[in-house]
Chain A
């Protein structure tokens, strides 16, 4: 009965990343400064009070910087100054270093290439079959839904040779969500130690990258960067499944880093 019903539906799975997917292209990432924006109208006072996580700062007259690692996608900046701020593309928001998350990027291309090469060297053996292990270090629950969504027939990561595993001893990639609650620091470290080399750690979500709106708090560490060494940073609150998939593929070296960090795509809609 179930099998027949399933067959009748046809193929629902996206063919991303081989072929473009319009939902993936439209998926919303963190806020970013628009490419040809006129930022001179923004005063320092405006910039300071605009973002609840202080992700927006003015590095000089007209030089607006957005720290995407702190953007919780509340949309206030986009609503208030739609001519300056817009949404970046979700599938291109993952980076290999924390400094890369500030827009415009501050890391030099040489350092970036080195990081990228190092990562690719480490994950040489992981090309065809990769196992993910997830640890919740104090998330709000939505990132777990988005990670689990990767298993549904629409995304179906099994077709890419990526699987979820229950034991960290079998895992290659560690997905960590959450702002780094102190109670989970030790379990997270133990999980990291339990994984065999080579391993890749992906900080999934703005909470994991920089603490999000939860930090500063007496109970969290402001992101997981202080607890385990992170290889891939993925902002978003929560990041869409396509964004998570792009971060995994970036961590495996299957997506080129260059070209990911273009300035935000055009406005929304």
Chain B
């Protein structure tokens, strides 16, 4: 085991310690509640260091014999061989994703540590263990060398997701959310299993490198599609995105950040690894992927713009970002099919930059929203107005995360969206007509998404973070501890500073993408050390570092000129209540609510959202039917949107599914002789198949 391998193993051990601490000590002692998460933070730091080392090209291996009891079965030359697993090892691609994921995991763990000591944290043990299991599974997946370890880690992650989203099962809707999360997790696991088994049956070994040697053909294409589908379920591509909003919103506190900010990267890692190992899928599949990605992006942001619950807004934004990242990935697939390494580099670079921005911003958003929810006691957007007064650090984090995901300069989200749009605009270099059309449509969809992202996140910043508080909030102002503040500051810094240091980031990414695409192709995005271009020269340029210098300078210049021109008058401030046309007062909301702000969006996007609105009249007595308006609440307004995939794809399948389940239940007769008969039948069938194959 190499030195950095020891660091990686130490990290995994620390995560195990964290899980043990949580299970053994529980939450009885207030002082020890944060221990699992602090241990988790330490473990994440170790894994992060190992990942950074792997990215730099060092060797990071943990041999299989050092891991207890993990045994695989391989078929070599027709004989069954029992051998230890190939262990864990991180190459550059793994290192890149380890850095991304665990770079976010450290601040999230700190935020978790601080949150666990508040009153909002749950009162029973197990959360820390689930959290550690999730992080451990992510590390294992990203450093797996063979299919078995990969699948083992994948299923562990599914289990961890189920534990996390179902942790507060007694609350309404949570158990259903957990079940759906588990179901889709198993679906992705099944797809991956099928894909891997197809490849293993031809390659003769379980190691991932061996899988790459499968000759091209129908089998390889089918396996590739299955693997892509499995990973797509994980990240939330249409039509598999229905579990994301429910699963993410159901998890408690910063566990959402772990699920949506850290763990979702395994899906992207899998996609990148599939491209590295198996190359591009058939052209039709690429086109379908691009179309689905654009639909995902538009659908995700449409729903994010009209939700009434803060967690759902952020969760749907994950769907939108999955669409954006997969659009970049689609460009890379097209480039790979065309054997244009520059186009591939453009697509992968755009996708990876978006992954970085999304990881930082999503972790920040969910960590901050946990703090806001703890301070305000509610999740409804209309009641969260002015939350920055109650929870200053979390509110600011919410604002910065929103700015990043809205793609506003000078944040990292702006740079990644620029790259994505520029990559999509290279469609004129592609020769296939279907590819060109699909890329053009995807580009339009991404632009539309960017516009509505502005609307969706302006609502969060303007009407949730800022504004006059409408509720008194919880009794004490929720003060996030030092760890929480550190976490939020680190993530916010990541959102902002990474943009300024984008050239450095691109160099790091180019090193990380080496297994997939040549480094020089990705480095072609650096026109000069501080000016960026979309890999292809002569198309367009951007310099986020220059933006980071110029925007503050201009702001300072404006302030100075204003001070000079108006003298002392500029800084004299008189605090007065807002002018409300001298009204005698109204109860309830008297200015734009978050619900009302989203109303035009509901109407404009009624085709996508299937909006249904109704004015409800309360009073129907004859005197009032004359139209005489009483001062009691006379009318209410309700507006509902429908998730189209749920409504038209999954709900109709419920009945046949139930019938199938009822049919299967007949087999569960509970009689011993029936079960023995089943086992006998299964054994005979296997023998027949094996005999037939030979």
> Which positions in A face B, CB cutoff 8 Å?
167-169, 186-188, 190-191, 193-194, 196
Q: List the B side residues contacting A190 at CB < 8 Å.
A: 582
Judge whether A187 and B579 touch: CB under 8 Å. no
Q: How far is the CA of A191 from the CA of B576 in the complex (A)?
A: 12
Which residues of B553-584 are within 8 A (CB) of A?
574, 576, 579, 582
- Cα distance A196–B579 in the bound complex, in angstroms: 12
Q: B581: nearest residue on chain A (CB-CB)?
A: A187
B574, B576, B582: residue with the most chain A Cβ atoms closer than 10 Å:
B582
| A193 nearest CB neighbor, chain B only | B576
Q: Which residue of A lies closest to B582 (CB)?
A: A187
B582: chain A residues at CB < 8 Å are 186-188, 190-191
12 A-B pairs whose Cβ atoms sit less than 8 Å apart in the complex: A167-B579, A168-B579, A169-B579, A186-B582, A187-B582, A188-B582, A190-B582, A191-B582, A193-B576, A194-B576, A194-B579, A196-B574
Chain A interface, DSSP helix/strand/loop, else mixed: helix
**A188→B576 CA distance, assembly (Å):** 16
CB distance from A136 to the nearest CB of B (A): 11
List the 3 closest pairs (A to B, CB-CB), nearest first.
Answer: A187-B582, A190-B582, A194-B579
Return chain A residues, CB-CB under 8 Å to B574.
196
- Within the complex, what minimum Cβ distance (angstroms) separates B394 from chain A? 32
Tell me the smallest distance from the CB of A268 to a CB of chain B, in Å: 41
Residues of A within 8 A of B579 (CB): 167-169, 194
A184 to B406 Cα, complex, angstroms: 46
Which residues 292-314 of B sit at the A interface, judged by CB distance below 8 A? none
In the complex, what's the smallest C-beta–C-beta distance from B584 to chain A, in angstroms?
8
Q: How many angstroms from the CA of A169 to the CA of B579 in the assembled complex?
A: 8
User: What's the Cα separation between A22 and B582 when bound, in Å?
Assistant: 41
B581 → A minimal CB distance (Å): 8
Q: Which residues from B are CB-within-8-Å of A191? A: 582
Residues facing A in B569-617 (CB within 8 A) are 574, 576, 579, 582
Q: Chain B: which residue is nearest A183 at the CB level?
A: B584
Closest to A187 in B: B582
- Chain A nearest CB from B685 CB (Å) reads 82
In the assembly, what is the distance between CA of A183 and CA of B574, in Å? Answer: 27
Nearest opposing residue in chain A for B579, CB measure:
A194
Task: State in angstroms the CA–CA spacing of A191 and B579 once bound together.
Answer: 8
- Residues from chain A with Cβ under 8 Å of B576 in the complex: 193-194
Q: Which residue of B lies closest to A191 (CB)?
A: B582
A112 to B582 Cα, complex, angstroms: 34
A186 to B581, CA, bound (A): 12
Residue of B nearest to A194 (CB): B579
Closest chain B residue to A184 by CB distance?
Answer: B582
Question: Which A residue sits closest to B580, measured CB to CB?
Answer: A190
Cα–Cα, bound, A194→B576 (Å): 8
Cβ of A166 to closest chain B Cβ, rounded Å: 9
* Residues 401 to 425 of chain B near chain A (Cβ within 8 Å): none
Q: Nearest Cβ distance between residue B60 and chain A, in whole angstroms?
A: 63
Complex Cα–Cα for A196 and B576 (A): 11
How far, in angstroms, from A193 to B577 measured CA to CA in the complex? 10
How many angstroms from the CA of A262 to the CA of B404 in the assembled complex?
A: 70
Chain B nearest Cβ from A24, distance in angstroms: 34
Kindly state the separation between the CA atoms of A167 and B579 in the bound complex, as whole angstroms. 8
- Given contacts A193-B576, A194-B576, could you give 10 more A-B pairs where the C-beta distance is less than 8 Å? A167-B579, A168-B579, A169-B579, A186-B582, A187-B582, A188-B582, A190-B582, A191-B582, A194-B579, A196-B574
Query: Which residues 453-505 in B have Cβ within 8 Å of A in the complex?
Result: none
Contacts of A196 in B (CB 8 A): 574
In the assembled complex, the Cα of A268 lies from the Cα of B98 at a distance in Å of 96
Closest to A197 in B: B574
Shortest beta-carbon distance from B690 to chain A in Å: 85
Would you list which residues of chain B between 347 and 393 have a CB under 8 Å from chain A?
A: none
Q: How far is the CA of A188 from the CA of B579 in the complex (A)?
A: 13
**A168 → B minimal CB distance (Å):** 7
Alpha-carbon separation in the docked complex, A187 to B576 (Å): 15
Q: Residue on B with the closest CB to A189?
A: B582
CA A190 to CA B581, docked complex, whole Å: 9
Cα distance A193–B574 in the bound complex, in angstroms: 11
Residue in B closest to A186 when the chains form the complex, CB atoms: B582
CB distance from A178 to the nearest CB of B (A): 14
Q: Tell me the complex Cα distance, A169–B577, Å.
A: 11
Q: Within the assembled complex, what's the spacing in Å between the Cα atoms of A88 and B582? A: 37
A191 to B582 Cα, complex, angstroms:
7
User: How far, in whole Å, are A107 and B574 apart by their CA atoms in the complex?
Assistant: 36
User: Which residue of A167, A168, A191, A194 has the most chain B CB atoms within 10 A of its CB atom?
Assistant: A194
What is the bound-complex CA distance between A168 and B579, given in angstroms? 8
Contacts of A169 in B (CB 8 A): 579
Considering the chains assembled together, what is the distance between the CA atoms of A167 and B574 in angstroms? 17
Q: What CA separation (Å) do A124 and B395 show in the bound complex?
A: 44
**Min distance, Cβ A184 to any Cβ of chain B, angstroms:** 9
In the assembled complex, how far is the CB of residue B582 from the closest CB belonging to chain A, in whole angstroms? Answer: 3
User: Chain B residues near A167 (CB, 8 Å)?
Assistant: 579
Taking the closest CB of chain A, its distance from the CB of B430, in whole angstroms, is 51
CA distance A2 to B576 in the complex (A): 44
What residue of chain A has the Cβ atom nearest to residue B576's Cβ?
Answer: A194
Q: Which residue of B lies closest to A167 (CB)?
A: B579
Q: Which residue of A lies closest to B583 (CB)?
A: A187
Contacts of A188 in B (CB 8 A): 582
Q: What is the minimal beta-carbon distance from A195 to any residue of chain B, in angstroms?
A: 10
B575 CB to closest chain A CB (Å) equals 12
Min Cβ gap A187→B in Å is: 3
In the complex the two chains form, what is the Cα distance from A198 to B574 in whole Å? 14
Minimum CB distance partner of B574 in chain A: A196
CB distance from A192 to the nearest CB of B (A): 10
Closest Cβ of chain B: how far from A101's Cβ, in Å?
28
- Give the distance to chain A from B567, nearest Cβ to Cβ, in Å: 12
Q: How far is the CA of A188 from the CA of B582 in the complex (A)?
A: 8
Question: How distant is the Cα of A167 from the Cα of B576 in the complex, in angstroms?
Answer: 14
Q: CA–CA, A169 to B574, complex, Å?
A: 12
Task: State how many angstroms separate the Cβ of B442 from the closest Cβ of chain A.
Answer: 45
Q: How far is the CA of A193 from the CA of B582 in the complex (A)?
A: 11
* Distance between Cα atoms of A187 and B574 in the complex (Å): 20
Complex Cα gap A188–B581 (Å) = 10
Q: How far is the CA of A168 from the CA of B581 in the complex (A)?
A: 9
Min CB gap B585→A, angstroms: 11
State in angstroms the CA–CA spacing of A187 and B580 once bound together: 10
Tell me the bound Cα distance from A212 to B20 in angstroms.
87
A70 to chain B, nearest CB (A): 28
Q: Please measure, in the bound complex, the distance between the C-alpha atom of A228 and the C-alpha atom of B579, giving whole angstroms.
A: 18
Q: How far is the CA of A225 from the CA of B75 in the complex (A)?
A: 102
In the complex, what distance in Å separates the CA atom of A132 from the CA atom of B498?
Answer: 50
A191-B583 Cα distance, complex, nearest whole Å? 11
Kindly list chain B residues whose C-beta atoms are within 8 Å of the C-beta of A193.
Answer: 576
A177 → B minimal CB distance (Å):
16
Closest chain B residue to A188, Cβ basis:
B582
A210 to chain B, nearest CB (A): 24
A55 CB, nearest partner CB in chain B, Å: 32
**A187 partner residues in chain B, CB cutoff 8 A:** 582
Output the least CB separation between B566 and chain A (Å).
11
How far, in Å, is B218 (CB) from chain A's closest CB? Answer: 71
Query: How many angstroms from the CA of A187 to the CA of B579 in the assembled complex?
Result: 11
Q: How far is the CB of B640 from chain A (nearest CB, A)?
A: 36
* Nearest Cβ on chain B to A174's Cβ, whole angstroms: 13
